Structure 1
Amino acid sequence: MSDYEVELFREQGFSRKKCPKCGRYFWTLGERPDCGEPPCSEYSFIDNPPTKKRIELNEMREIYLSFFEKHGHERINRYPVVARWRDDIFFSIASISCFQPWVLNGTIKPPANPLVMSQTALRFNDIDNVGKTGRHFTMFEMMAHHAFNTPQERIYFRDETVELCHNLLLELGIAGEDVTYIEDDWAGGGNSGPCFETIVNGVELATLVFMMYEETPSGRKEMDMQVVDTGYGLERFAWVSQGTPNAYEAVMPEVLGRLKNELELNEDHNILREYSRIAGMMNVESNADLKQLRKRVADNIGIPVDKLISVTKPFEDLYAVGDHTRALTFMFNDGVVPSNVKEGYFARLLVRRTLRSLKNLSLKLPLHEVISWQIKSMEKYFPEFKANREDILNLAEVEEKKYDKTVIKGRAIVERFDEGLESKGTEKVSTGDLIYFYDSHGLVPELVKEFSRLKVEIPDDFFIQVAEKHTTPKKEDVDRVSLPPGLEPTELAFYRDERKRRFRAKIVRLFDNYVVLDKTFFYPEGGGQETDLGEIDDRDVTEVIKKGNVVLHRVKRLDGLSEGMMVSCEINWDRRIQLMKHHTATHIINGAARRVLGNHVWQAGAHKSEDLSRLDITHYASLTDKEIKEIESLANKVIREDRPIKKYFMDRNDAEEKYGFTLYQGGAVPGKEIRIVDIRDWDVEACGGTHFDSTGALGCIQITRVKRIQDGVVRLEYKAGAALERHRKGIEEIACEVDLQHLGEEELKELAAIFSVSIEKLPPTLERFRDEWQRNLKEIRRLEETIEKAGVYSKKYKKLPVGDAFKSYHQLFSEWKQQKKDIVKLREELVERVEEELRKKLESDYTLVDDVRMVKQLTNNLEVKNLNQLANSLLEKNALILIANKSGGKANIVVASDSKYSAVDVAREICKRLGGGASGNKRFSVGGGPSAKLGDVVSEYKP
């Protein structure tokens, strides 16, 4: 019997046929001549649904789940759209991705067997087709039933799978004669197997995959576990049962209805129906495909293409808004914060595409308002949306404001880029340039086209190209050491007793300055926690790493050690205690941040060292002082309450069911069992680090620094234990050094913020400002003397501020700022005087050299930018302007020429005589050198 011959086909008299159009084999009841799938056959369900009644989306989901429950399947909840349990993909792309790799490789059992679910999934490989074809979505629900068959336990396989599918279709009222099962072969992730594509009236409703082979270099090998992997498209089932012109109308009627109420659309049902029908016959992947689709539809209906576009283009944008805001609702709810990296990149991509579509529709609706409609339409079936509503809408609102700022800056960015291309003789903005604008500056290609004066052609698959660059997470190279063969796993004894300081162990292998023991209480670097240090038989342990299941201890020398000998080991206990405090502090801070900022907060990175701990969290804005204080206050409240901390191993499925996927705050964790760190009623995470038994052991946590390290990610730095004591002692020493020993850290922070430095940099900064205050005063007096206004400004600054140190430092900064303003004003007055003198010289007091008017001007205490301003504003035709400025021991030369004399040649000649140099072009040049001979050189110079 072939892989495709099942009991149902034999019992009910299905015929196996070869499609005369595509050549594929299919099974059918009746006399169907072809496989039934486009382009071999077209949609026949639009306005003519094959089901016994029209079924809306949520009802269809429940019918499906209940059907399989009745047939022995256990219903399980959806997994998040963000695949936090995996490190090879960002999003759940199908129901089977929820069980890879741990269930499929036999590490753990499935959460139920057999099971049924409706899994929300995201795919971006067809994003440019969304809204255009009538059937493409970025976010969709894959209804699925799975069975995991092992040699010890057979659940069901091909026969039962096809029978269940067929009976479901019949129960929906679909006639058996309307169903075809196309034979196909599925492969992916190193596995393969036969599959059926289930077609009804032209649309593929389900795919039934029988994963049974492993692909090896020597060919197919039968798997130990054989998996029923099915996917039923919820959106397509709703579409087919309602017979609407496209899937969007069936999936989002409430939201689309509200959007239409805001618009005046020419909704021609016949055109939309024909458009979807023909789009279903085509694989629209390029702009050429889209043009061909529009021409075919226009020809069929008998209208010009431009009229067709005028009807369909607004609907393409409308449907894109509906799909993208629906996807964003799930992404924001499940913890994605828009950014320029990882999963956040795709959220930002959808936001910006949505805003562009809203603009195309001339809709002034805020993004968060449309998302609020999505929440309202779905919260009954996804109650988590109601609980997280505020978070979801905040994310949308903040991201829209960021985009508005991007647009404001965008024009200048594109103009500068145009100038660069034009200087190279380029007249066109390439696709690569468009991707650069989007990735580096957040500018969608339509904006670039609007802002650019060059030719811009936008590829129809632009966002598909962009998404492909970011689809797969980048993996860090951690293969620093190659293990010798034959090593048994090291017993991780520190999990038995985190308080063990000294122990005896046997050496099982020595290589490359590494010692492998049969057991170890040394904690290896991992989970952001630095390695333990210590000694093995009086040899310093400088690093401990875990490679697979083996722990390696790096020592400075191996002499005197041999395999099989027993050794005495001791951990640097002060360091271990400090690392434990900082790791425990990280869990406490993370729990506090989620409570203060919202459930969208996820750990984006962490590091725990002896001196400092840091936690990177996803958040859409910089933290306010109030938020920082609230997080710190909450964290210390948890410490004072001395909450118990439990650490235990738990079956992965049981842990996920009990605690949810917030377990994976620190990222994907391998293994059948995962270690849980549970701070009572505060934070539960899968974590392999070392921790105390209660929160009170930390004593206190202090957040020492907070900064935004990239868009969408905020870093909190904090200290506890001995590190905090050292920090506070250091602050006291700094306070004494700047005569502020009576102040606390908060006041010092306030003072440091005024000078835009950290507390540690206050002493040299204050000294520098004192010196600058004195230099500024001298500069003010020099400028006053130059313009004959002695004391007008300088009388305000009699002496350096003294008295109460805190107040005097405030006054120092205030006066320093005012000095800078006064210097600018004085220079402006001086520039006005010099300009007036130069104008008079150009009119009547110039030197005529070969019919060129040459004027020279000597000045003092101006800046080069002032000289540039003068030269550019005064330059006239057939004139040569030479301005020389003396400031301290330096001379600055600016030459402007609109004559036969080259400005750069003149400047170089003068600067050469001074002992300096110049650069520029024929019209304008800047140079300089020592000022000792400046007056003589300038007065004597002739071109």
Structure 2
Amino acid sequence: MTCEEYSFIGDSPMRRRLTLSEMREFYLSFFEKNGHTRISRYPIIARWRDDIFFTIASISCFQPWVLNQTIDPPANPLVMSQPCLRFNDIDNVGKTGRHLTEFEMMAHHAFNTGDRSVYFKDRTVELCHSLLLELGIKPEEINYLEAEWSGGGNSGPCFEVVVGGVELATLVFMMYEDTPAGKREMEMQVVDTGYGLERFVWLSRGTPNTYEAIFDYLLSELKREIDVEEDEEILSEYSRLAGMMNVESKADLNKLRRGVADRIGISVDKLIEKISPFEDLYAVCDHTRALMFMLNDGGIVPSNVKAGYFARLLVRRALRSLKALDLKTPLRDILSLQIEHFKDDFPELMENRDDILALIDVEEKKYERTIIRGRNIISKLDEGLKKEGRDTISIKDLIHLYDSHGLVPEIVSEFSGLRVEIPDDFYIRVASIHEKVEEGEKAREIDIPEVRETELKFYEDSYVKKFKARVLKKFDGYIILDKTYFYPEGGGQEPDFGKIDSLSVIDVQRVGNVIIHKVRGDLGRIRENDLVECEIDWDRRLQLTQHHTATHIINGAARRILGNHIWQTGAHKSEELGRLDLTHHSRISEGEREEIERLANEVVSEKRKINIGVMDRGRAEKMYGFRIYQGGAVPGKDIRIVDIEGWDVEACGGTHLKNTSEVGRIEIVDTKRIQDGVVRIEFKAGKALERYAEGQKELMERLNIEVPKEDLQKISSTFSVSVEQLPKTIERFRREWKQQVRELKNMEGMLSNLTGERYKFSDRYKELPSGDPVRAYEQLFGEWKSQRKEIKRLKKKIQEILTEKLNERFRSDFIEKKGVRIVKEISVGLDVKNLIEMAKSTVKENSLLIIANKIDKRANILVYSRSRFNAEGIAKDLSKRLGGGAHGNRNLAIGGGSSNRIEKILREFEVENGF
């Protein structure tokens, strides 16, 4: 980090002003002329790795597989310009003049091994120096600062290249692997350089900050829409001084602002007033460009989990800034301008444009709904904190409100009546919580004897049903063979079953390179070194294989129907059901489900060939792209590629068919939203589908309706359950519909008694809906929901009236015993929560409240005491008389029993106890 004032602002040391596109091309061409091979960028989403979400540096593209020499680099030496994403400085974006979340790292890399030495320190510095000279920078203006670099488990010396006070590049010489025992020299020594494209452009233009240099095309549009005075002197001084500081805290920022204010001769408040709009403008420019790359590169939907969390973070920060600016331009329109600007350099943006903008639209609508709900959430929090005697919403509360409800701190501050202190590094804090990639579920650990690795014959021919093999070891109910066609559990596919001689194979697992077979039966009948007859349960294997191939077919169909953001996040293939989890922003509609199913069955009927083969990782990535990693990162030099011709290509280790026609008809039996940003498709094929169809027929007989399959799907969607669950679900809703009508009538009767008014909301529910099944069940569900809503409203109304009544009774209509005011009351239909709220708001010092609350044939007893009388004892006595029990303490107790004799029992209790 440099500590000198920027000297190039208004006085660029470069020969000419360059755009991002021009500077990128200048750099790449320079290194091509100097013996480097230009390679294309990698995705900004690091799909080939399971330890990070995003590509954070150009070297990330080659970790771990190139650096550990599992595969060869795509070229050596190479040059590239790699879009990167980092969130560790997100709160400084827009404020310091140089920080960005998304940036391009121009880089040249050389990979030196014992077999081939390319170049190292001297040549790296020589190339860097020549590049800067060609750009017109004078030698005396170039500074090389020696330092040490470490990251990702590696380290080595480096040079920081500084011109005019700004660090333009870092030249790292990766030589060591960092281990618990200390540094160990790497077998491969790597030239790892990083040249900041945006900083080079900034230097060439000499603008007040990097944002004015790289986002001029967008800022010119946005500035026209806001009424703000642009003072270039202030912006320039601000950036000049920022170059001398490491702005990491609010104290650093305040110090910077004081320094600028003193230099210019204005107050700090006036300075903030002048620069704040620009800080928001710059943040919007940065965040929308970052979103453009994130959403373009696939598999990310703004959500509250994993990589999607960071997309949502950027959207909501950008929306917050637009609100602060009172800028009416929709976020999607700003994204559209970004895409238009970058489309020539990144043509894929136009291909995904509609998908990117649709994702932004959906997320913006979600945020609007969040704001509407936010007032009530924050109001309840305020109320709770006040009861605890707190007058401040803490940082912990702010993080919880953001993570759980999506409420940004500025909205909390606007809606809350309490003091809200927003830390300057709030978004850095929340980002750091979510940056660590969660480890997947660990496989079962089974200790096995030392034995040679198993020949995996199921990859050679997955259609073999019987084979002979030799027993290498047997232990703890397991058998290890020298070779096997039994497929072990993995990749979401359940294991094969079958026979080894007379023993039943009930599980197959992979431990390293050894396959172990769990068997049931007398293991003593088999000895080590025996040649055994093995038979696979072919019906099961075929069914699992059909479901696995169907998974790939449906994945391709979903991507074509729902958009390029579709990415597999999980899958499971059992004998009865296939399950596919996908990134998607909304529930899958009935129309979308039908289209996905139609398209999947088209692929089946087209009899497409399925090609399966093992390929070098680098060649596979180059040929098919990184979409092959649908099931997650795959280890190793060689990867198994399953290619459904012209439809879907994935790295996959499961069993597959030779032709799509062998899958048979595919039917999607259910779709559901399983978490924010993830939907699940459940489907059947083969004999599982035949059994399902038979079950459907029986189901319609049980429901006593004749409807096509599509209508059953619609009815199940109405109730958000699977088709198989419909009979029980419909029965439950009918029962609850009737029960809620009774409950409404009881509460209406009580309200009439309390107010003298007539309530007849229940009159609209004379009989259960009937007629067309789809419409009837939609009406049943709609009426059920309306009933619940009205019951909740009536409970609240009864609670309010009773609370007022109880307050009046404690003033003038009570029984007094031993200096204690005692009130008894009977209510109808209230929840225990209502009763407790009523009690706490009415019972004062030296008072006792007893409430009997009737719900159908049950009764709740609540006793609340702020007196010498023991609430728990009273509640237990009354509940015992009702045939029930009670629990609580001397102040508050809850009990209950039958409601049959409640009035009589209260009178008996009064006679016996005097109240």
What TM-score do you get using the length of structure 2 for normalisation?
Answer: 0.89
Correspondence for 1:492 among 453, 456, 462 = 456
Structure 2 Cα separation of the partners of residues 811 and 185 of structure 1: 70
After superposition, residues 328-367 of structure 1 pair within 5 angstroms as 328-335=291-298, 336-367=300-331
Correspondence for 1:743 among 688, 707, 712 = 707
Structure 1 residue 845 displacement after superposition:
9.5
Structure 1 Cα separation of the partners of residues 177 and 544 of structure 2: 44
Structure 1 residue 383 displacement after superposition:
1.0
Correspondence for 1:654 among 603, 619, 622 = 619
| 2:599 corresponds to 1:631 | no
3-state SS of paired residue (1:128) = helix
Correspondence for 1:404 among 368, 374, 378 = 368
Give CA deviations for 1:479-500 in whole Å, capped at 9, x if unaligned: 5335558644332221111111
Give CA deviations for 1:152-210 in whole Å, capped at 9, x if unaligned: 22222222221111111111111111112222222333333222211112111111122
| 2:678 corresponds to 1:678 | no
Structure 1 residue 78 displacement after superposition:
0.5
Judge conservation of contact 2:2–2:167 (CA < 8 Å) in 1: no
Q: 1:419 to 1:161 in 2, by over 3 A?
A: same
Larger mean Cα displacement after TM superposition, 536-545 or 48-57: 536-545
Structure 2 Cα separation of the partners of residues 104 and 908 of structure 1: 72
Correspondence for 1:716 among 676, 681, 686 = 681
Structure 2 Cα separation of the partners of residues 784 and 315 of structure 1: 59
Q: 1:329 to 1:193 in 2, by over 3 A?
A: same
Higher Cα Rg, which structure: 1
3-state SS of paired residue (2:338) = helix
Correspondence for 1:111 among 67, 74, 77 = 74
Structure 2 Cα separation of the partners of residues 413 and 828 of structure 1: 19
Which residue number in structure 2 is paired with residue 418 of structure 1? Answer: 382
Which residue number in structure 2 is paired with residue 515 of structure 1? Answer: 479
Judge conservation of contact 2:714–2:774 (CA < 8 Å) in 1: no
| 2:281 corresponds to 1:318 | yes
Structure 1 residue 131 displacement after superposition:
1.0
Judge conservation of contact 1:914–1:933 (CA < 8 Å) in 2: yes
Larger mean Cα displacement after TM superposition, 55-64 or 811-820: 811-820
Whichever residue aligns with residue 544 of structure 1, its letter is V
Structure 1 residue 251 displacement after superposition:
1.1
Which residue number in structure 1 is paired with residue 52 of structure 2? Answer: 89
Structure 2 Cα separation of the partners of residues 464 and 844 of structure 1: 59
Structure 1 residue 433 displacement after superposition:
2.2
Correspondence for 2:422 among 453, 458, 471 = 458
Which residue number in structure 1 is paired with residue 534 of structure 2? Answer: 569
Larger mean Cα displacement after TM superposition, 823-832 or 256-265: 823-832
After superposition, residues 79-158 of structure 1 pair within 5 angstroms as 79-158=42-121
Structure 2 Cα separation of the partners of residues 293 and 818 of structure 1: 58
| 2:668 corresponds to 1:703 | yes
Correspondence for 1:437 among 378, 401, 404 = 401
After superposition, residues 499-898 of structure 1 pair within 5 angstroms as 499-556=463-520, 558-740=523-705, 742-753=706-717, 757-768=721-732, 889-891=857-859
Larger mean Cα displacement after TM superposition, 695-704 or 206-215: 206-215
Structure 1 residue 843 displacement after superposition:
12
- Identity between Structure 1 and Structure 2 (%): 58
Q: 1:364 to 1:900 in 2, by over 3 A?
A: farther
Structure 1 Cα separation of the partners of residues 239 and 786 of structure 2: 68
Judge conservation of contact 2:743–2:855 (CA < 8 Å) in 1: no
**Structure 1 spans left out of the alignment, 5+ residues:** 1-36
3-state SS of paired residue (2:379) = helix
Correspondence for 1:61 among 17, 21, 24 = 24
Whichever residue aligns with residue 258 of structure 1, its letter is E
Q: 1:506 to 1:386 in 2, by over 3 A?
A: same
| 2:124 corresponds to 1:165 | no
Give CA deviations for 1:805-827 in whole Å, capped at 9, x if unaligned: 88987898799889989999999
Structure 1 residue 87 displacement after superposition:
0.6
Q: 1:174 to 1:512 in 2, by over 3 A?
A: farther
Q: 1:214 to 1:814 in 2, by over 3 A?
A: closer
Q: 1:721 to 1:229 in 2, by over 3 A?
A: same
Structure 1 residue 656 displacement after superposition:
1.3
Judge conservation of contact 2:5–2:242 (CA < 8 Å) in 1: no
Structure 1 Cα separation of the partners of residues 466 and 627 of structure 2: 35
Structure 2 Cα separation of the partners of residues 337 and 168 of structure 1: 40
Structure 2 Cα separation of the partners of residues 901 and 255 of structure 1: 73
Q: 1:290 to 1:555 in 2, by over 3 A?
A: same
Larger mean Cα displacement after TM superposition, 545-554 or 678-687: 545-554
Structure 1 residue 780 displacement after superposition:
8.8
Structure 2 Cα separation of the partners of residues 167 and 609 of structure 1: 61
Which residue number in structure 1 is paired with residue 252 of structure 2? Answer: 289
Structure 1 residue 739 displacement after superposition:
2.3
Structure 1 residue 920 displacement after superposition:
9.5
Structure 1 residue 47 displacement after superposition:
0.9
Structure 2 Cα separation of the partners of residues 220 and 497 of structure 1: 46
3-state SS of paired residue (1:586) = helix
Which residue number in structure 2 is paired with residue 243 of structure 1? Answer: 206
Structure 1 residue 528 displacement after superposition:
1.3
Which residue number in structure 2 is paired with residue 935 of structure 1? Answer: 903
Structure 2 Cα separation of the partners of residues 826 and 190 of structure 1: 63
| 2:275 corresponds to 1:307 | no
Structure 2 Cα separation of the partners of residues 85 and 549 of structure 1: 22
Whichever residue aligns with residue 376 of structure 1, its letter is E
Structure 1 Cα separation of the partners of residues 600 and 111 of structure 2: 44
Whichever residue aligns with residue 410 of structure 1, its letter is G
Structure 2 Cα separation of the partners of residues 910 and 151 of structure 1: 88
Structure 1 residue 42 displacement after superposition:
2.4
Q: 1:895 to 1:243 in 2, by over 3 A?
A: same
| 2:343 corresponds to 1:379 | yes
Q: 1:723 to 1:914 in 2, by over 3 A?
A: closer
Structure 1 residue 448 displacement after superposition:
2.3
Judge conservation of contact 2:470–2:529 (CA < 8 Å) in 1: yes
Structure 1 Cα separation of the partners of residues 107 and 798 of structure 2: 80
3-state SS of paired residue (2:524) = coil
Structure 2 Cα separation of the partners of residues 649 and 120 of structure 1: 30
Structure 2 Cα separation of the partners of residues 825 and 260 of structure 1: 49
Structure 1 residue 612 displacement after superposition:
0.7
Judge conservation of contact 2:839–2:849 (CA < 8 Å) in 1: yes
Judge conservation of contact 1:197–1:204 (CA < 8 Å) in 2: yes
Judge conservation of contact 2:669–2:713 (CA < 8 Å) in 1: no
Whichever residue aligns with residue 254 of structure 2, its letter is K
3-state SS of paired residue (2:255) = helix
Judge conservation of contact 1:739–1:805 (CA < 8 Å) in 2: no
Structure 1 residue 247 displacement after superposition:
0.8
Structure 2 Cα separation of the partners of residues 697 and 377 of structure 1: 47
Which residue number in structure 2 is paired with residue 188 of structure 1? Answer: 151
Q: 1:855 to 1:91 in 2, by over 3 A?
A: closer
Structure 2 Cα separation of the partners of residues 135 and 784 of structure 1: 66
Structure 2 Cα separation of the partners of residues 250 and 743 of structure 1: 64
**Structure 2 spans left out of the alignment, 5+ residues:** none
Whichever residue aligns with residue 381 of structure 1, its letter is D
Structure 1 Cα separation of the partners of residues 793 and 86 of structure 2: 59
Q: 1:206 to 1:746 in 2, by over 3 A?
A: same
3-state SS of paired residue (1:317) = helix
Which residue number in structure 2 is paired with residue 13 of structure 1? Answer: none
Which residue number in structure 1 is paired with residue 163 of structure 2? Answer: 200
Structure 1 Cα separation of the partners of residues 787 and 390 of structure 2: 47
